[in-house]
Chain A
């Protein structure tokens, strides 16, 4: 990639030089013709110029082709092998509109709704409130965000979202940083006791800050004052707001595209292999290969039996042996069948992963 960028510089230089030269020789030819001298001489000038320009263009083309090869080498992907069409334009457009709304880009959402002839959903007003608060947080104004969190205390609490305490904590730190020690103490007295059950240790830690309030930068508390905390809390606010609206904490479109960025190169390869067998990847029940996605994109438990490597189903559920190891029902039955009658284990079979012995009826169903 670095050599690609270096090459683009070289190409730009060559292009500028060569095309200017071509233009200059053309200009010269024109002035020769304008001087109305002997046609035979002109014939000669034309031939020379033509040769010159043609060669320069040819050189340039060779260089561009070379650069092109480099691009192809760096960005190796045959997207044509994906092929199949995807015909849900209205559903897709609605998803994109929701994406704009939850990202707080109302103006774009409006333009898009008009262009794509969609109706703006009614959640718009609520999103607007969210983005005003987020913008305020980014400007280090917390008052209205705190008001919102206080208003929604019960729901946030029941969902286990620590937004309200985080906001009070941030406000407290802000007051300390501004040297308003009395106000900080008043703020702590007013709000911290509500969270004493869950966050006592953190509150005790925070109250210690008064000792250092005059020399924060050199205090053990200095790591609490990074610039990043504002952005963190802004994201936390948006996520909590969407959660309370019953929405996902990330834009689903962003998540899906992020997964696609990982899946597309893999599926491309598989797809071209499948095509040789006249199969279409999108027509299969299951992708033929695993696509590694990061943990934050795993939303459902998937249990793959370590013995059979098959995914558990309702008909072949995961079962726990007394030792705590889990395999699927079918594998378990196979293990039980493998026991020779009269062996020393007396009908019990060994767990494939530890020395534990068990019988079939000891196994218990698990629900992930």
Chain B
């Protein structure tokens, strides 16, 4: 029986708990800003009305008031939307926590309920992988089959994918910039230069199209604001005005390079994940890297295929073994002996037995074999036959 380390097992689910939480915080922050901005506007409009009361006609007052009412109604609608979204996020957070908490009721890893829990874990990890990779249909199928709607941050990843696509394929910064504007203060907090990079790209595109006056106006409006922190790059950008898109001068040639769009897409993804406190890689990558490493032994990478075990993921040299190729080997302070015949663990209850040729098998496997063959045992690796009584018990401390 193997005990379950609940704290450790829960720890790896962190991204699933962080995602709704950070979305919730962001939504509330945005509501706060919205309220602040809108009420300020309404307030100042009213104030100026109060001050100019004597000079305004009743019609003018009514008109302004009508506009203000409309403004507030829009605000109310937006807050209602936010409320709905937040309610869902809180519910999701609870559902996830409840599902994960089932873990604390299990006592052993061989329990069928635990096996089932692990299967569900596999599904949600695959859903996360599919959503991050844009395999939306596969994700949808998995979500439906395993009833894991509450574990899928579909809208978040959909935003990432559509914005990335727009950058990569349509070469447009529109959605990315809009997102930057909405999250400007959060981006400033993590000192992200994403917005500068996007603005720079739009500037570069104007120069590419030879719209020099537009480019200068754009730089004045959007790039100059970054001169405090990005001065050298700002200057280099302005120098670009002197070069044509066909230039061979290295820094400027690179700036005109279309691969910048791919970099932008990647940067956008990294920044949005950082903002939502999510790992840059899918959980599946992290688990496979560390898991394969923990399973990897010298036998898995042996050139001798008889050393391989088909149940061992690392021994699958064409698939998972390839992924494990450059990973570290597992570390062992204590011996772990596995019988080559039965795959069972060899320990005090089922001790290792050495045949005269030096090969070791478990007592149980040799006893079974001897019972069927008049006390003779055959070494499966060498084919030699020995009398069971010649096998010697080993003591492994």
A→B interface (CB under 8 Å): 1-2, 4-5, 8-9, 11-12, 15-16, 19-20, 22-23, 26-27, 29-30, 33-34, 36, 39-40, 42-43, 46-47, 49-50, 53-54, 57-58, 60-61, 64-65, 67-68, 71, 74-77, 79-80, 82, 84-86, 88-89, 91-92, 94-96, 98, 105, 107-108, 111-112, 114-116, 197-198, 228, 231, 243, 246-250, 252-267, 281-291, 293-304, 306, 309, 311, 313, 320, 323-326, 353-354, 364-368
10 pairs across A/B with beta carbons < 8 Å?
A: A23-B76, A57-B35, A108-B138, A246-B310, A254-B122, A256-B292, A290-B333, A353-B395, A364-B358, A367-B360
- Do residues A115 and B90 form an inter-chain contact, with CB atoms below 8 A? no
Instruction: Please determine whether B286 and A79 come into contact, CB atoms closer than 8 angstroms.
Output: yes
Given A61-B25, A261-B12, A290-B332: A43 and B43 interface contact (C-beta under 8 Å)? yes
B360 to chain A, nearest CB (A): 5
- The total number of A-B Cβ pairs within 8 Å is 382
- Closest A-B pairs by Cβ, 8 of them: A260-B291, A260-B287, A299-B312, A259-B291, A252-B313, A8-B94, A291-B294, A263-B294
Name which of B2-10, B182-190, B205-213, B254-262 contacts chain A. B2-10
User: In the complex, what's the smallest C-beta–C-beta distance from A353 to chain B, in angstroms?
Assistant: 5
Q: How far is the CA of A95 from the CA of B100 in the complex (A)?
A: 26
Contact with A along B196-229 (1 / 0, CB 8 A): 0000000000000000000000000000000000
CB distance from B265 to the nearest CB of A (A): 16
Q: Would you call B322 an interface residue if the criterion is a C-beta within 8 Å of the partner chain's C-beta atoms?
A: yes
Among B87, B320, B327, B345, the residue within 8 A (CB) of A15 is B87
Q: Is the CB of B337 within 8 A of A77?
A: no
Cross-chain contact A259 with B295 (CB below 8 angstroms)? yes
With a cutoff of 8 Å between Cβ atoms, the chain B residues found around residue A91 in the complex are 319, 322-323
Chain B residue at minimal CB-CB distance from A232: B112
Q: Which of B323-367 contact A (CB under 8 A)?
A: 323, 326-338, 340, 343, 345-346, 352, 354, 358-360
Q: Which residues of A contact B288 (CB under 8 A)?
A: 86, 92, 256-257, 260
A290 contacts across to B, CB distance below 8 A: 330-334
Q: Say yes or no: A289 contacts B12, CB within 8 Å.
A: no
Q: Beyond the given A76-B14, A260-B286, A299-B312, could you list 14 further A-B residue pairs with CB under 8 A, ordered by the A residue number?
A: A30-B76, A33-B72, A64-B25, A75-B11, A92-B288, A198-B372, A248-B311, A265-B8, A282-B326, A301-B338, A306-B396, A364-B358, A366-B358, A366-B394
| Contact among B46, B104, B291, B337 with A258 in the assembled complex (CB-CB below 8 Å) | B291
Would A295 and B345 count as touching, CB distance under 8 A?
yes
On whether A289 and B331 interact (CB within 8 A), knowing A1-B101, A79-B15, A264-B290, the answer reads yes
Whether, in the assembled complex, B50 has its beta carbon less than 8 Å from a beta carbon of chain A, the answer is: yes
**A residues near B280, Cβ cutoff 8 Å:** 80
Question: Measured between alpha carbons, how far is A358 from B21 in the docked complex, in Å?
Answer: 66
Using a CB–CB cutoff of 8 Å, the interface residues on chain B facing chain A are 2, 5, 8-15, 17-18, 21, 24-25, 28-29, 31-32, 35-36, 39, 42-43, 46-47, 49-50, 53, 61-62, 65, 68-69, 72-73, 75-76, 79-80, 82-83, 86-87, 90-91, 93-94, 97-98, 100-101, 104, 109-110, 112, 118-119, 121-122, 125-126, 129-130, 133, 135-138, 141-142, 145, 279-281, 284-295, 297-300, 307, 309-316, 319-320, 322-323, 326-338, 340, 343, 345-346, 352, 354, 358-360, 372, 381, 392-397
* Closest partner residue, chain B, to A85 (CB atom): B281
Q: Which residues of B contact A303 (CB under 8 A)?
A: 335, 337, 396
Select one of A22, A231, A264, A302 contacting B291, CB under 8 A. A264
Q: A263 touching B290 by the CB < 8 A rule?
A: yes
Closest to B126 in A: A96
Q: With A8-B93, A42-B46, A46-B39 as given contacts, are A80 and B279 in contact (CB-CB < 8 Å)?
A: yes
Q: B50, B73, B285, B316: which contacts A43 (Cβ < 8 A)? A: B50
Neighbouring A residues of B315 by C-beta, 8 Å: 299
Chain B interface mostly helix, strand, loop or mixed? helix
Cα–Cα, bound, A158→B392 (Å): 26
Tell me the nearest residue of chain A to B96, going by C-beta: A8
Q: Out of B5, B72, B94, B290, name the residue touching A260 (CB < 8 Å).
A: B290
Known contacts A23-B79, A26-B79, A256-B292, A1 near B12 by CB under 8 Å = no
Residue from B2, B126, B284, B331 within 8 A of A288 (CB atoms): B331
If the complex has contacts A53-B35, A115-B138, are A16 and B10 also in contact, measured as CB distance less than 8 A?
A: no
Contact A291 B330 (CB under 8 A): yes
Cα A282 to Cα B396 in complex, Å, equals 31
Contacts of A89 in B (CB 8 A): 133
CA distance A247 to B311 in the complex (A): 8
Taking a contact as CB atoms under 8 Å apart, the answer to whether A286 and B331 are in contact is: yes
Q: How far is the CB of A365 from chain B (nearest CB, A)?
A: 5
Q: How far is the CA of A205 from the CA of B327 in the complex (A)?
A: 51
* Minimum Cβ distance to chain B for residue A151 (Å): 22
Q: Which residue of A lies closest to B319 (CB)?
A: A95
User: How distant is the Cα of A77 from the Cα of B12 in the complex, in angstroms?
Assistant: 7
What CA separation (Å) do A364 and B392 show in the bound complex? 11
Asked if B286 contacts A287 (CB within 8 A), the reply is no
Q: How far apart sit A71 and B94, CA to CA, in the bound complex (Å)?
A: 11
Indicate the member of A29, A263, A353 with the most B CB atoms within 10 Å: A263
| Bound: A309/B331 CA distance, A | 11
Do B21 and A262 touch (CB < 8 A)? no
Determine the residue in chain A with the shortest Cβ distance to B274: A80
Contact A267 B91 (CB under 8 A): no
Q: Is B39 in contact with A248, judged by CB distance below 8 angstroms?
A: no
Q: Are A79 and B279 in contact (CB under 8 A)?
A: yes
Q: Are A257 and B122 in contact (CB under 8 A)?
A: yes
Q: Chain B residues near A16: list those with CB within 8 A.
A: 87
Look across to chain A and name the residue whose beta carbon is closest to the beta carbon of B381: A367
Taken together as a complex, chains A and B put the C-alpha atoms of A15 and B21 apart, in Å, by: 14
Pick from A1, A114, A252, A366: contact of B100, CB below 8 A: A1
| A287 adjacent to B330 (CB under 8 Å) | yes
- A43→B68 CA distance, assembly (Å): 12
Please, which residues of chain B bring their CB within 8 A of the CB of A265?
Answer: 8, 11-12
User: In the complex, are the beta carbons of A366 and B354 less than 8 A apart?
Assistant: yes
- The residue of chain A having its C-beta at the shortest distance from the C-beta of B135 within the complex is A115
CA distance A341 to B60 in the complex (A): 116
Contact (Cβ within 8 A) B354 A57: no
* Distance between B140 CB and nearest chain A CB, rounded to angstroms: 8
Q: Out of A9, A61, A260, name the residue touching B28 (CB < 8 Å).
A: A61
Provide the bound-state CA to CA distance between A295 and B342, in Å: 13
Contacts of B100 in A (CB 8 A): 1
Chain B nearest CB, measured from A354 CB (Å) = 8
Q: Are A300 and B279 in contact (CB under 8 A)?
A: no
Closest chain B residue to A65 by CB distance? B25
Q: What residues of chain A lie closer than 8 Å to B21, measured between beta carbons?
A: 64, 67-68, 71
In the complex, what distance in Å separates the CA atom of A74 from the CA atom of B313? 31
What are the residues of chain B within 8 A of A61 when measuring CB–CB? 25, 28-29, 32
Q: Does the CB pair B2–A12 fall under 8 Å?
A: no
Contact B336 A252 (CB under 8 A): no
Q: CB-nearest residue of chain A relative to B312?
A: A299
